[in-house]
Structure 1
Amino acid sequence: MTAARVEGSPEESLGDFPGVFDAYFEEIFRYVAQRLGPAQAEDVVAETFLAAFRKRERYDSTRASVRTWLYGIATNLVGKQRRSEVRALRARQRHGPGADLPGPEERVADQVSAQSLRPALASAIASLGQGERDVLLLMALAGLSHQEIAVALGISYGTVGSRLSRARTKLRAALGGANPMEA
């Protein structure tokens, strides 16, 4: 679902924040749930809109659409969530009894894989670096353009292209030469 930019709509201004929430909650939730799973998505999406509300005075509609801005906030919070979990898992490995606890790689693979993804593709996506994974998933799951991804992540348009190219190459190699778009 792509929101159309209409004068007076939530896309134009954050003055109607409840309207922004209503317009984009489900879309942002689907994206985060595909990245982290539904259980963690609720908290991350709530944090996304809370952060957007707190930063609403700094939002610049000439720089990004509300939708793109929200995806940027959500992606940053997904990364923060993952880093926190990896630190906790490493601490458990150092100090806890957990020989049967999954390692960070397995947790990331579980989180990244949506039920609709095949296991080989999920594993290949989990093996990507965070920057490559963020670009790929913002394009594939959120349907953002290269320019919107650049704005959402605060990187250049060229960096989006190069990360996406590297991600596709790595996915193709991990899938034995198969086209990742058909996996």
Structure 2
Amino acid sequence: MEMSVRARIRAGDPDTFGSLFDDYARAVYNHAFRLTGDWSTAEDVLSLTFLEAWRLRETVDPDGGSLRPWLLGIATNTARNTRRAARRHEAAVSRLPRAEALPDFAEGLVSRIDDAAQVAALRAALSLLRRPEREVVALCVWSGLDYATAAQALGIPVGTVRSRLSRARKKLHKYAGTGLPAENGNSHPGRGQAEGDRIPAVRRTQEETR
């Protein structure tokens, strides 16, 4: 009998793990960018997520469907740890003598400006939320996970996801007017909605719908 993808991942099959990266790297990268608002940091989170996924491969449930929620859960924790490390680094740098500012001659950023500006505006609104609320918005609204799958990704009860997302919606509607879809009893937030009702996704691709 042929082994399932999950069984091959658990067994550490490198070809299967390579295919996993090909299938979900863009979805993980987009999720990381939405959480961090920085292209370079998102690239770091992407790399660290798959390193951590390899380390945790034996914890994959043998039964189940897509491994995307599992990867997004790892990416969420990785982004969280990366932010902590960045804050420690910034605190250390702030104690150093200031160096003379040099002009930035970086090229090739034009195609990123619009997306970065859009996400910066959204992150400004999301800064009103507590970190756990931002994470459920990223998973349920941006990445389209249902409550149960988001709960599995974050390792928390389904009811906690519901309450966090409900609080997030109320805060964003009150303070930012972001256009998050209101609660309507749908157990699959982010699905079956008109495109205009969603927070715009950055670099949305077919991989994210898997």
TM-based fold match above 0.5: yes
Q: State, as a whole percentage, how many aligned pairs show the same letter.
A: 38
Match runs of 1:1-20 below 5 Å:
10=5, 13-14=8-9, 15=13, 16-20=16-20
1:68 aligned onto 2:69? yes
Structure 2 residue 66 is the aligned partner of structure 1 residue 28? no
Q: TM-score, normalised by structure 2?
A: 0.66
Which residue of the partner structure matches residue 169 of structure 1?
Answer: 170
- Change over 3 Å in CA distance of 1:78–1:118 after alignment to 2: closer
1:21-60 correspondence runs (5 A): 21-36=21-36, 37-60=38-61
Larger Rg over CA atoms: 2
Distance in 2 between residues matched to 1:141 and 1:18, nearest whole Å: 25
Deviation at 1:96, TM superposition (A): 4.3
CA RMSD of aligned residues (A): 2.7
2:80, 2:67 → 1: CA distance? 20
8 Å contact from structure 1 (residues 10, 20) kept in 2: no
**Shift in Å at residue 170 of structure 1?**
1.0
Q: Which residue of structure 2 lines up, in the alignment, with residue 149 of structure 1?
A: 150
The Cα of 1:21 is off from its aligned counterpart by 1.2
Q: Compute the displacement of 1:79 (Å).
A: 0.6
Consecutive unaligned residues in structure 2, runs of 5 or more: 99-114, 182-196, 200-210
1:55 CA drift (Å): 1.4
Secondary structure of the equivalent of 2:117?
Answer: coil
Matches of 1:23 and 1:63, distance apart in 2? 17
- CA–CA distance in 2 between the matches of 1:157 and 1:29? 25
What is aligned with 1:136?
Answer: 137
Q: Which residue of structure 2 aligns with residue 115 of structure 1?
A: 117
1:155 match: secondary structure: coil
Paired residues of 1:13 and 1:61 also in contact (CA < 8 A): no
CA shift, 1:87, in A, is 2.8
TM-score with structure 1 length normalisation?
0.74
